[in-house]
Structure 1
């Protein structure tokens, strides 16, 4: 209510009293007292500093490429090897960004410098110089045969056989040049398993992870056997990093973590997979 010329007038409901603003305290940035009139300049300065020095506010992310392998790398988020990659990189202090490509595109992206590294890497499939971490798994190649057929435990046993293999796998030259053997390839492992079950091949060359995964998926664990104690070939699996100072440091840091996880059993636990029925 207002007193105007001796008359009392009600204050309109829509008239609001002037807001009383608190005076903001001066901001102390990097040890210097900055005037209150510079909030926009402060924000701009901090943003520019983060752009120039990203390590001040962001973790050092490592970009890793990978490709589809049944049960091991199902996508950028799923798979046994994906879990290993995320665990190892996190323990090493590098949050991982995993890029999921076809196999050849992954290797091309690595060679062109688009990726810090990739996995799973095998020395037989890489020709350019690179830094390798400690191995986190072994790729063992076995001869899978139908239950009831002879178990194959050596290269000599492959002579004269119809041998199936999957494109994209890494095999030693000796496995693909057995005298008197006939070779048949497929693009996907489930196709190779179907050919073995149908009797179109005598032997399937594969491993204890993706091959067994395809066998389990088809419910054929009791129809196919192999000798777990007699691999025909063996290759260390590791993380490959670029041939740069950063790549060298990444390989060293990843190796420290991998070696520690081997020693305490964490790595074996991550990699544990059920096997198919071995030979009697």
Structure 2
């Protein structure tokens, strides 16, 4: 081989090796995480996705120096996308054995209170024992988890025909008002907000104290091999708690809730 051709070949190989070591920022990975519209945790306002869980997720990914895309879709679809690799993960999610088989779960991001609701004129009382509700119709949302205590009760009662399933929290509230069932279960803060949004606060009351307090997580696709991404997320979440950012975001939404809470809970509780 002529000397000039050897030199050109060597230079070409060196250039290729150099290019391989340079990060290609033009094709940086964008991770897609999904959940449902579930104010105040995740909702769309003027074309922008906002909410408590949205801000926590965004801040973690900012610290990870990763691009994030958030989509709000029906809950059944969100679960399917996360469990079968059509999205990189799901947020605002409870841990169940079935979900744990398909996704890697983060450390707990926050907690929520599950509470029962009845129509305003209901004579039903509740002392915390779910077995007292066996003779009543209970309304739940399809594919929702309400924590082990409520989930196990629902599972045992499905065969009795005492469980009415809705496709969304709003539909569940509407069915309660229309007397399709006797008792509804839902996250306290989002349920009261949805009741207010639907304009039916004067028709529903809270039944007793919350039945459970549940951890809420971010789940990462096993199909896409995101164990490492989950681990990095946990590190970012831990740093947010350590430097006060987690408290700042939580307290911001708590203050917004407190501004509405008094007149809402007076009507609902």
Q: Quick check: TM above 0.5?
A: yes
Instruction: State the Cα distance separating 1:187 from its structure 2 match.
Output: 1.7
Alignment of 1:98-247 (within 5 A): 98-124=70-96, 126-149=99-122, 150-154=124-128, 155-171=130-146, 172-178=151-157, 182-226=162-206, 230-243=209-222, 247=226
1:163 and 1:246 mapped to 2: Cα distance? 38
2:207 and 2:68 mapped to 1: Cα distance? 37
Structure 2 counterpart of 1:32: none
2:223 and 2:178 mapped to 1: Cα distance? 49
Greater helix percent: which structure?
2
Q: Secondary structure at the match of 2:37?
A: coil
1:164 and 1:108 mapped to 2: Cα distance? 22
2:28 and 2:251 mapped to 1: Cα distance? 27
Pick one of 244, 250, 256 that aligns with 1:268: 250
Instruction: State the Cα distance separating 1:152 from its structure 2 match.
Output: 3.0
Decide whether aligned partners of structure 1 residues 54 and 67 sit closer, same or farther in structure 2, where only a CA change above 3 A counts. farther
Q: Secondary structure at the match of 1:161?
A: coil
Alignment of 1:38-77 (within 5 A): 49=19, 52=20, 55=23, 57=25, 61-71=29-39, 72-75=41-44, 77=48
Question: Structure 1: 5+ residue runs without aligned partners?
Answer: 1-44
Instruction: State the Cα distance separating 1:217 from its structure 2 match.
Output: 0.6
Task: Say which one has the larger Rg.
Answer: 1
Q: Secondary structure at the match of 2:235?
A: helix
Question: Structure 2: 5+ residue runs without aligned partners?
Answer: 1-14
Instruction: State the Cα distance separating 1:247 from its structure 2 match.
Output: 2.4
Residue by residue over 1:148-192, the C-alpha shift from the partner in whole angstroms, topping out at 9 and shown as x without a partner, is 534534213313112212223224122343497722222232222
TM-align CA RMSD: 3.5
1:253 and 1:269 mapped to 2: Cα distance? 25
Instruction: State the Cα distance separating 1:215 from its structure 2 match.
Output: 0.3
Structure 2 counterpart of 1:253: 232
Structure with the larger RCO, 1 or 2 (CA within 8 Å, 6+ apart): 2
Alpha carbons 1:66, 1:120 under 8 Å: kept:
no
2:101 and 2:65 mapped to 1: Cα distance? 27
Q: Secondary structure at the match of 2:188?
A: coil
Q: Secondary structure at the match of 2:185?
A: strand
Q: Secondary structure at the match of 1:213?
A: helix
Decide whether aligned partners of structure 1 residues 216 and 240 sit closer, same or farther in structure 2, where only a CA change above 3 A counts. same
Structure 1 counterpart of 2:61: 89
